[in-house]
Structure formats: C-alpha cells, structure tokens
Amino acid sequence: MVFISESIKLFCVMLKDSKNVEGIARNMKKIIVIGCPGSGKSTFSKALHELTKIPLFHLDMMYWNSDRTIVEKHIFMEQLNSVLCKEEWIIDGNYNSTMELRLQACDTVIFLDYPMDVCLEGVRERRGKIRTDMPWVEDANEEDTEFTQFIKDYNNQSRSKVMELIEQYSYKDIYIFNNRNETKDFLEGKRCIQMNGEKMDILQENV
C-alpha cells in the first residue's frame, strides 16, 4: 500500500463483476484522465466511456489541427470551457496549463501512474495507427526525440507537480493506477484503488 502524503489515504475497493463498477461509476459525472504520454489515457478513457456512457472529449483533438499546427489559445480555451459547462464528461489529456482548471471542475481524477518503459512502449505501439484521439497520423518510423525525452523525464520532472496538484484537491475522488493490470481489473470490476480525502474504507460486495 502506497501513501502519497499524510493527508491522502489510499484504499482498495474489491468488486466482483463489472456491474459493481457501474454502481461506482454512477457517482462519476465529471472525470479527468491524466498521466504520462504513452500511458494509455485515451484507450482507458474510451473503455470508461463505453462502460459509463459519459461523453468523452480528447484534449489533443481540441488543441491540434489535422496539418499538425495548433489552434489559437483562445479557441482551445473556448472549446475546453464549453465542455466543462456540461453536466457530464470524461476529459482525456494532460496539458498542464489547464490541469488545475479541470481539477477544480471535476469530481473524479484518474491518474495512470506508470513506469517510464511502459509509456515509451505505448508510444512506439501507436505510431502509424489512425487514432480517434488525434487528428493526424504519425509515421510508423517517426520518432520525436524531444517528445521521447519528455517521457523519459516525466517521473523526475512532471510527476511531482501533478501529485502536488492532486494533493491540493484530495477531497475529490482520486484513483491512481500503477500498471495496466490495475486499470484492466478496475474496468472488469475486480479491483479499484481509490483515494478520497482523509477517509479510508475497504468495501466488499457480493464476495
């Protein structure tokens, strides 16, 4: 069991089947999915969307044009704010400049806190594939060295800032997954790791 800080408690929710996940998901209305590039945020978000039927929005689709140029900042913010005003949403993406805005608006945070090598492999596997979360396709043999270095530096440079923000909003429902098996188990209804302020419970249903 991992403790992020004294003010945030980590607890496990053991569930028997996906129907029980649907029960938990009823309390989720506004969800952000964050994590290092390559961790599988979009893949997880799509699966969660299928399970909950909550509308899904990808920040990359708001930020990028199909010709690999970026939209003007005010356009990006208008699109984001229009989503935040909705009653339900899943927002997939990091974009540190707007992370706190999304943390303020959400009720649930899902952080894919994976090792660097897992994220690097995730980026390699998606090259050359058409993606519904990105308006253009990377060349299968293309490698963005700057992007790759960002992933290598993420746990040392970016992760601590994300965790500081999460701690500030520890009263939200916060789920942290450390590997793909944990996210798979969550979606299948076998296990859920949840942080919720200073309250720690262990719930068992139909066991």
Q: Residues 121-163: pLDDT tens digits?
A: 999 998 888 888 888 788 877 888 999 999 999 999 999 999 9
Task: Give the Å distances, CA to CA, from 76 to 97, 145, 160, 170, 196.
Answer: 12, 26, 26, 27, 31
Across 165-179, average pLDDT: 93
User: Per residue in 64-82, is it b (16+ CB within 10 Å) or e — as a string?
Assistant: beeeeeeeeeeebeebbee
Give 14's strand partners: 191, 204
Name which CATH class applies to 10-196.
alpha beta
- Region of poorest pLDDT, from 68-72, 75-79, 115-119, 201-205: 201-205
pLDDT for 10 beyond 80: no
pTM for the model: 0.79
Can you list the positions of beta strands (E) in the chain?
A: 10-14, 30-35, 56-58, 89-92, 108-112, 173-177, 191-196, 203-204
Q: Residues 14-61: pLDDT tens digits?
A: 333 444 455 555 578 999 999 999 999 999 999 999 888 899 999 999
Angle at 88 between CA 166 and CA 36, to 5 degrees: 40
Domain boundaries of the chain, sorted by first residue: 10-196
Distance CA 54, CA 31 (A): 9
Element (H, E) at 19: helix 18-25
pLDDT at 24: 54
Task: Classify 186 in phi/psi space as left (phi over 0), alpha (psi -120 to 50) or beta.
Answer: alpha
Across 160-168, average pLDDT: 94
pLDDT for 206 beyond 80: no
